[in-house]
Structure 1
Amino acid sequence: MNQIGIYIFAVLVVFVVIQTLCALAFTSSLCLPKSQIMPDELLPKAVIILALRGADPFLADCIRALVNQNYPQYELHIVVDSQEDPAWDIITKTIQQTGATHVKVSPLIVRHNTCSLKCSALVQAIFALDDSYNVAAFIDADVIAHPNWLRELVVPLIDKQIGASTGNRWYLPPSEQWGSLVRYVYNSASVVSMYIHEYAWGGSMAMKLSNLRQAQLLDIWTQSISVDAPVHRALQNIGLKVKFVPTVMMINGEDCDLAQCLRFITRQLIMPRLYHPKWMLFVVQVFVPSLALVVAMGMMLISILRGNFAAAALFGGGFVGYILVMVLLITRLEQGVRQVVWEHSKLMKRFSFRFLVKLLLAVPLTQLISTLATASAMIKQNVEWRGVVYQVKNPYDILLTEYHPYQKSLQALDSKASIG
Structure 2
Amino acid sequence: MFFDLALVFLCIAAVSQFLYFLLITSNHKDFVKRYNRDFKEFRPKVLLTVPCKGLDMGFFRNILSLMRLDYENYNIHFVVESESDPAYESLQRIIDRCRDDMPAGFAKVLVAGISKGYSQKNHNLLHSLRFAPHDTEIYAFADSDTRVSRLWLAHLMYPLRNSKYGVSTGYRYFIPARRRFSNLALSSMNAAAAQIMGKSKYTTQVWGGSMAIRKELFEQLNVANLWQKSISDDLTLSAAVRNAGYKIRLMPRCFTVTFEDMSWGQLFEFGRRQMLITRVAYLRMWLWGLFCLLNHFLGVWILPVAAAVRFAMGENDAKLFAAAAVIHWASLIYRTYMRRRTFEFVLGPYGGYVRQLSMWEFLLNPLWLALMLALILISSFGRTICWRGVRYRLNGAFDIERLNR
TM-score range, shorter chain: 0.7 to 0.9
Distance 1:248 1:285 in 2: 26
Structure 2: which 5+ runs fail to align? none
Instruction: Report whether the alignment pairs 1:223 with 2:226.
Output: no
Distance 2:162 2:79 in 1: 30
Q: TM-score, normalised by structure 2?
A: 0.87
Q: TM-score, normalised by structure 1?
A: 0.84
Distance 1:238 1:174 in 2: 41
Q: Equivalent of 1:113, from 111, 116, 138?
A: 116
Distance 1:236 1:356 in 2: 35
1:417: which partner in 2?
none
- Structure possessing the higher relative contact order (Cα contacts under 8 Å, 6 or more residues apart): 1
SS of 1:378's equivalent in the other structure is coil
Equivalence map 1:144-293=2 (5 Å) = 144-195=147-198, 196=200, 197=202, 198-276=204-282, 277-291=284-298, 293=300
- Offset of residue 192 of structure 1: 4.0
Distance 1:286 1:189 in 2: 11
Equivalence map 1:21-420=2 (5 Å) = 21-34=23-36, 37-38=39-40, 43-99=43-99, 102-109=106-113, 111-195=114-198, 196=200, 197=202, 198-276=204-282, 277-291=284-298, 293-296=300-303, 298-299=305-306, 322-323=328-329, 325-342=331-348, 345-346=349-350, 348-349=352-353, 351-352=355-356, 355-403=357-405
Q: Which range moves more in the overlay, 327-336 or 221-230?
A: 327-336
- Listed one character per residue, the Cα deviations across residues 240-263 of structure 1 (whole Å, up to 9, x for unaligned) are 222211111112232323332222
Q: Which range moves more in the overlay, 243-252 or 174-183?
A: 174-183
Say if 2:192 and 2:339, in contact at 8 Å, map to a contact too: no
Distance 2:259 2:43 in 1: 31
Distance 1:178 1:280 in 2: 28
SS of 1:256's equivalent in the other structure is coil
- Offset of residue 392 of structure 1: 0.5
Give the letter for the 2:340 counterpart: E
Say if 1:112 and 1:222, in contact at 8 Å, map to a contact too: no
- Offset of residue 278 of structure 1: 4.4
CA separation of 1:48 and 1:357: change in aligned 2, threshold 3 A: closer
Say if 1:58 and 1:141, in contact at 8 Å, map to a contact too: no
Say if 2:169 and 2:210, in contact at 8 Å, map to a contact too: yes
- Listed one character per residue, the Cα deviations across residues 339-362 of structure 1 (whole Å, up to 9, x for unaligned) are 2331xx34634625xx54532442
Percent identical residues? 21
Distance 2:81 2:197 in 1: 28
Distance 1:257 1:63 in 2: 25
CA separation of 1:360 and 1:159: change in aligned 2, threshold 3 A: closer
Say if 2:345 and 2:351, in contact at 8 Å, map to a contact too: no
Distance 1:399 1:194 in 2: 31
CA separation of 1:383 and 1:349: change in aligned 2, threshold 3 A: closer
Q: Which range moves more in the overlay, 216-225 or 290-299?
A: 290-299
Say if 1:5 and 1:314, in contact at 8 Å, map to a contact too: no
SS of 1:153's equivalent in the other structure is helix
Distance 1:175 1:300 in 2: 39
- Offset of residue 281 of structure 1: 2.1
Say if 1:80 and 1:106, in contact at 8 Å, map to a contact too: yes
Say if 1:137 and 1:207, in contact at 8 Å, map to a contact too: yes
* RMSD (CA atoms): 2.9
Say if 1:8 and 1:318, in contact at 8 Å, map to a contact too: no
CA separation of 1:120 and 1:357: change in aligned 2, threshold 3 A: same
